[in-house]
Chain A
Amino acid sequence: MNRSSSFNWLGWLIFAGLLSMWEYGARANPKLQFYIPPVSEILVALFNLSASGQVAGHLLATVSRFVQGYAIAALLAVSLGVLLGYFRSAYGILEIVIEFLRPMPSVAIIPVAVLTLGIGDGMIVAVTVYASVWPILVNTIDGVKHIEPILIDTARTFGLRRWAILWRIVVPGAAPYIVTGLRISLSIALILVTTAEMIAGSRGLGFFILDQERSFNSSNMYAGIIIVAALGYGLNRLFLTLEGNVLRWRRGMIAQQPV
Chain B
Amino acid sequence: MPILEVENLSKSYRQLRGENTPAIGNVTCRVEAGEFVSFVGPSGCGKTTLLMSIAGLLEPSSGRVVVKGKEVKGPPPNLVLVFQEYNKSLFAWRTVLSNVRFGLEARGDRSPRAEAKARELLDRVGLKGFEKHYPWELSGGMQQRVAIARALAYEPEVLLMDEPFGSLDALTRLELEDTLLGVWAELRTTILFITHDIEEAIYLSDRIWVLSRRPAQIIQELSIDFPRPRDQLTTRAHAGFMTLRNEIYRQIGHAV
Binding site for B on A (CB under 8 A): 148, 150-151, 153-160, 164, 168-169, 172-173, 175, 249-250, 252-253, 256-257
Contact = CB atoms under 8 A, between A and B. Distances in A.
Given A253-B136, A256-B136, A257-B136, A157 B79 contact: yes
Contact of B77 (A151, A153, A159, A175): A159
Contact of B57 (A148, A157, A172, A249): A157
Given A150-B85, A249-B134, A173 B75 contact: no
15 contacts: A148-B88, A153-B57, A153-B83, A157-B55, A157-B57, A157-B75, A158-B80, A158-B107, A160-B106, A169-B91, A172-B91, A173-B92, A175-B93, A250-B92, A253-B92
Contact of B92 (A154, A157, A168, A249): A249
Contacts of A160: 106
B40 interface: no
Contacts of B134: 249, 253
Contacts, number: 58
Nearest to A256: B136
B81 A153 contact: yes
Interface in B87-142: 88-89, 91-95, 102-103, 106-107, 134, 136-137
B154 interface: yes
Contacts of A151: 88-89, 91
A170 to B, nearest CB: 12
A253 B87 CA distance: 13
- For A156, A158, A172, A256, the residue with the greatest tally of chain B CB atoms inside 10 Å of its CB is A158
Contacts of B75: 156-159
A119 to B, nearest CB: 44
B106 A172 contact: no
Contacts of A172: 91, 93
A159 B88 contact: no
Interface string B58-89: 00000000000000001101011101010011
B101 to A, nearest CB: 11
Interface of B: 52, 55, 57, 74-75, 77, 79-81, 83, 85, 88-89, 91-95, 102-103, 106-107, 134, 136-137, 154
A164 B106 contact: yes
A147 to B, nearest CB: 10
A159 B83 contact: no
Contacts of A156: 57, 74-75
Contacts of B107: 158-159
Nearest to B134: A249
Contact of B106 (A148, A159, A173): A159
Given A151-B89, A158-B107, 16 more contacts: A151-B88, A151-B91, A155-B106, A157-B55, A157-B75, A157-B80, A158-B106, A172-B91, A173-B91, A249-B92, A249-B93, A249-B95, A249-B134, A252-B137, A253-B92, A257-B136
A160 B91 CA distance: 14
A174 B142 CA distance: 25
A253 B135 CA distance: 10
- For A150, A160, A164, A172, the residue with the greatest tally of chain B CB atoms inside 10 Å of its CB is A150
A151 B75 CA distance: 14
Nearest to B106: A158
Nearest to B76: A159
Nearest to A164: B106
Contacts of A150: 83, 85, 88-89
B81 A173 contact: no
A154 B106 contact: no
Contacts of B137: 252
B75 to A, nearest CB: 5
B81 A157 contact: yes
B76 to A, nearest CB: 9
B219 to A, nearest CB: 28
Contacts of B94: 249
A252 B80 CA distance: 31
A17 B80 CA distance: 65
Contacts of A158: 75, 80, 102-103, 106-107, 154
B93 to A, nearest CB: 5
A155 B106 CA distance: 8
A175 B92 CA distance: 11
